[in-house]
């Protein structure tokens, strides 16, 4: 039986790239196998230093997951730092992680290139992520393409541990859906919290409309046929949020000519807004009962801890600790 696990950092507001890349496949997995989902608050410490903000974001990410269909009866859902065993496992596997492997990490290189001053936590980020995954005997990890290398590192670390100390860890697979591997942002680059190019999952109506209507396109007139319609940014996003026929019709109209970008963007806004309407309603219900949300996380932490301590005990025994 597959065991699916994924985590999202509470480092900012979640966007539709997070949803299509990581959350939706995770939520779909609830129909087959066991599911373990967590809020990566330890990881968020590598980029966010405001404690109040971290608390607020953590609660927001919890609401976002529950709104989008995470079902606490079918999934174990917790806050990463409520299971501190992960930090011990990080140390244990850290001693088997070659420096060269960490030095080659794209995400570390990208972040430092963007001016984030590197600290040990940022450098060790992939080791903590490997510990997250290995601590729960995970078989499948749904993520966007940007996390592919981290998954490969996790596999390398698990294999090395098993070779050194005997079969201990399950070697996980990543699940990267080709159609949503990289959801483009408003500027055509990868949609990311750090690039300011997001469509927020639960942004207000006015702000969302403004962002979508502000997408910059080329200067061709509405009349001109657009043979490259399939590469149009709004069409790509429409394919995610709208029914297949709706997206296909818009693409054809654009290709033929006589369909303006303004109308296309208006359609994209409407379809986006509608797509997430049921989730918005559910989010409001959970937001009105935050004690319930905290109780879900506490209960999840307890369950997660049960699995985590058994796996950690196995790793300690294998490596001669205690």
Residues that bind ligand TRP (CB under 6 A): 5-9, 40, 43, 129, 132-133, 141, 143, 147, 150
CA atoms within 13 A on the CB side of 272: 32
**C-beta of 143: minimal distance to ligand TRP in Å?**
5
Taking the least distance from each CB to ligand ADP, the nearer of 196 and 320 is 196
In angstroms and rounded to an integer, the radius of gyration of the C-alpha atoms of the chain is: 21
- The Cα 50–Cα 39 span in angstroms is 17
Active-site residue among 73, 109, 111, 303?
A: 111
**C-beta of 180: minimal distance to ligand ADP in Å?**
6
- The Cα 273–Cα 271 span in angstroms is 5
Name the binder of 194 from ligand TRP, ligand ADP, none, CB < 5-8 A by kind. Answer: ligand ADP
**C-beta of 74: minimal distance to ligand TRP in Å?**
19
Instruction: Indicate whether 180 belongs to the interface with ligand ADP (CB under 6 A).
Output: yes
Relative to beta strand 34-39, strand 173-175 is unpaired
Taking the least distance from each CB to ligand TRP, the nearer of 126 and 203 is 126
Part of the chain binding ligand ADP (CB under 6 A), chosen from 98-106, 142-150, 162-170, 206-214: 142-150
CA atoms within 13 A on the CB side of 300: 26
Which residue in 183, 119, 144 sits closest to 9, CA to CA? 144
- Supply φ then ψ for residue 20, to 5 degrees: -75, -35
Name the binder of 66 from ligand TRP, ligand ADP, none, CB < 5-8 A by kind. Answer: none
CA 81, chain centre distance (Å): 18
Distances (CA, A) of 319 to 128, 130, 287: 18, 17, 45
Active-site residue among 109, 160, 193, 226?
A: 193
Is 273:205 a contact under the CB 8 Å cutoff?
A: yes
Site string for ligand ADP, 88-127 (x = CB under 6 A): ----------------------------------------
- For 196: left if phi > 0, alpha if psi spans -120 to 50, otherwise beta; the answer is left
Name the binder of 176 from ligand TRP, ligand ADP, none, CB < 5-8 A by kind. Answer: none
Q: Which residue is nearest to ligand ADP (CB)?
A: 21
Taking the least distance from each CB to ligand ADP, the nearer of 21 and 126 is 21
Lookup: tokens for 220: 């061709």
Tokens 């490997």 belong to residue: 130
Active-site residue among 160, 190, 210, 265?
A: 190
Burial of residue 53 (CB within 10 Å: 0-12, 13-18, 19+) is: middle
Name the binder of 40 from ligand ADP, ligand TRP, none, CB < 5-8 A by kind. Answer: ligand TRP
Lookup: tokens for 91: 């140390």
Is 193 designated active site? yes
Q: What are the residues binding ligand ADP (CB under 6 A)?
A: 8-9, 17-18, 21-22, 143-144, 146-147, 180, 182-183, 190-194
* Residues with a known catalytic role: 111, 190, 193
């Amino acid at each position: 039986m597959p065991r699916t696990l994924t985590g999202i950092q509470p480092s900012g507001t979640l966007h539709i790239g997070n949803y299509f890349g990581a959350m939706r496949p995770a939520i779909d997995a609830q129909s087959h196998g066991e599911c373990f989902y967590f809020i990566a608050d330890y990881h968020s410490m590598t980029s966010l230093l405001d404690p109040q903000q971290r608390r607020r974001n953590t609660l927001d990410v919890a609401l976002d997951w529950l709104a989008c269909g995470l079902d606490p009866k079918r999934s174990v859902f917790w806050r990463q730092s409520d299971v501190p065993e992960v930090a011990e496992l990080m140390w244990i596997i850290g001693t088997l992680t070659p420096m060269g492997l960490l030095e080659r990490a794209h995400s570390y290189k990208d972040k430092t290139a963007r001016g984030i001053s590197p600290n040990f936590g940022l450098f060790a980020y992939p080791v903590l992520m490997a510990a997250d995954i290995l601590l729960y005997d995970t078989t499948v990890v749904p993520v966007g393409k940007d996390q592919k290398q981290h998954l490969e590192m996790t596999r390398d670390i698990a294999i090395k541990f098993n070779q050194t100390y005997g079969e201990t860890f399950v070697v996980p697979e990543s699940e990267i859906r080709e159609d949503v591997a990289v959801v483009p942002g408003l500027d055509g680059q990868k949609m990311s919290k750090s690039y300011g190019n997001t469509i927020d999952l639960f942004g207000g109506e006015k702000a969302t409309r403004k962002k979508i209507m502000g997408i910059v396109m080329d200067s061709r007139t509405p009349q001109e046929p657009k043979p490259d319609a399939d590469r149009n940014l709004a069409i790509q996003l429409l394919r995610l949020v709208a029914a297949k026929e709706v997206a296909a019709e818009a693409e054809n109209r654009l290709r033929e000519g006589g369909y303006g970008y303004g109308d296309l963007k208006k359609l994209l806004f409407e379809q986006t807004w509608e797509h997430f309407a049921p989730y918005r309603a559910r989010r409001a219900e959970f937001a009105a009962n935050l004690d319930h949300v905290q109780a879900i996380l506490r209960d999840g932490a307890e369950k997660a801890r049960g699995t985590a301590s058994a796996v950690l005990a196995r790793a300690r025994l294998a490596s001669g600790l205690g």
